[in-house]
Structure 1
């Protein structure tokens, strides 16, 4: 695999955090139209969507592509009840990536989940991703090559064309506003029609592919709960931007695979068929 890493900068981050504490409400919901085998249905019912078998556990693909992008240490943020994920981490660690876990005691939001990985991150920059998305290597490598803090700004048309995500769902994704230098100005969650029209069809969207400096952890501690009653990572990012932290918006004209519901399993399995995995 050395040849795959030849274009990775020497100062690129080698640590990544995968947020796997989500309750998987959509995945647990019964769906008679989804053709799942017994094992897939059992894992789906548990809500641990990252471990659904799509040829092999979905997380295998996520970890393998992170390793291709230069990651050597990985932390899964899980709940105290997630024995399956704890056992998975112990089983796969020791190959290309050392895999550990951090506990988010209660589901208090994405910023609280990121904060749970503070000890793992230490003084290093870390890539932070969702556990139910497969991001292509090109996007992760470009993210890792960015200076300081960054996020991937995904091209909407490419997501519609190359993802398994319906266009109406992509329309509701957070919009990314960047300045002329490509630095983040703001993120608009669940934009209405007026906002979409103002930003234009070419405005990139966020799918929670982040690169953080250690400053993110203090920011996570200083924000207040959102109107949903959760500590949101976007609010921590906004706080840092207001205080002068520069976030580079990394453009990516690629698709992302989403494993949110049982209806996604077949499409994800088909899209990942033939993808080489090396853990």
Structure 2
């Protein structure tokens, strides 16, 4: 089936604060350098970088154009993409001048995206191709809701971390709210099959105006969740599957183990 959406915006601008912090893993010199720079998407994993696996999986799902949101100092990305010379999809860079939050990162891709619908994913996560494929069929605004029990089973993320992730509340497939940092009572009430947000969205160009309307959160950042609250109808697509997360140094060994033997085709 031909996907409705063929453009992806990949948020790769983050400061990498948690990745810069010391961990227990023994890293190679190249991995240590990437960790120190905070460039999680450029972390060496086997013979590739994390972004290579992400781009390959996106191309497999039907993406033909990827917009990487990066910092002004993006020489490492530019050099790596020149070495990759991908032919299955076009890769362009969009610069986020300051790390002002995920909504600001999406806004930074506006010129590169134009009026096309697109999906938004995190640069330090590797999402299942089947789930991305479902999202590419979305018409209008949507998000992929990951079943919490499947995340615990199939991801490299500890259950206590997953328990703290934002919960999706929906009625008849339509988003009611995204509950960030749920308390113990909300977690228990939601149950093991609660839907969790992993920042995997499908957007129309309407999101750009929504991003422009919001104010900074209590953290002082422009949050994509706040922009989503400004949208009208947002569909929730439930999905049972895992996500690989590379936000800390201690994640590297397990991600590398799980990706051993995975073919990268760009």
- The TM tier, using the shorter chain, reads over 0.9
Is 1:20 aligned to 2:7, yes or no? Answer: no
Give the CA deviation at 1:36: 1.0
Q: Is the 8 A contact 2:151 2:242 kept in 1?
A: yes
Q: 2:239 aligns with which of 252, 257, 271?
A: 252
Equivalent position of 1:4 in the other structure:
none
The correspondence of residues 69-218 of structure 1 with structure 2, limited to 5 A, is 69-180=61-172, 182-218=173-209
CA distance in 2, matches of 1:166, 1:8: 36
Equivalent position of 2:21 in the other structure:
29
Give the CA deviation at 1:93: 4.4
Deviations 1:163-217, CA, capped at 9 Å, x for gaps: 100000000000001112x111110001001222333332200000111000000
Equivalent position of 2:249 in the other structure:
262
Choose 268-277 or 229-238, whichever is displaced more. 268-277
CA distance in 1, matches of 2:147, 2:2: 23
Equivalent position of 2:228 in the other structure:
237
Q: Which runs of 5+ in 1 are unaligned?
A: 1-6
Equivalent position of 1:66 in the other structure:
58
Q: Is the 8 A contact 2:101 2:223 kept in 1?
A: yes
Q: Which runs of 5+ in 2 are unaligned?
A: none
CA distance in 2, matches of 1:199, 1:30: 34
Q: 1:227 aligns with which of 215, 218, 238?
A: 218
Give the CA deviation at 1:225: 0.6
CA distance in 1, matches of 2:209, 2:174: 21
Deviations 1:52-83, CA, capped at 9 Å, x for gaps: 11111111000000001111111110111232
CA distance in 2, matches of 1:169, 1:135: 17
Distance 1:14 1:93, change over 3 A: farther
Choose 165-174 or 37-46, whichever is displaced more. 37-46
Q: Is the 8 A contact 2:168 2:197 kept in 1?
A: yes
Aligned CA RMSD, in angstroms, stands at 1.1
CA distance in 2, matches of 1:124, 1:24: 29
TM-score, length basis structure 2: 0.97
CA distance in 1, matches of 2:96, 2:131: 27
Is 1:48 aligned to 2:39, yes or no? Answer: yes
Equivalent residue pairs, number: 265
TM-score, length basis structure 1: 0.92
CA distance in 1, matches of 2:253, 2:121: 22
Q: Is the 8 A contact 2:5 2:138 kept in 1?
A: no
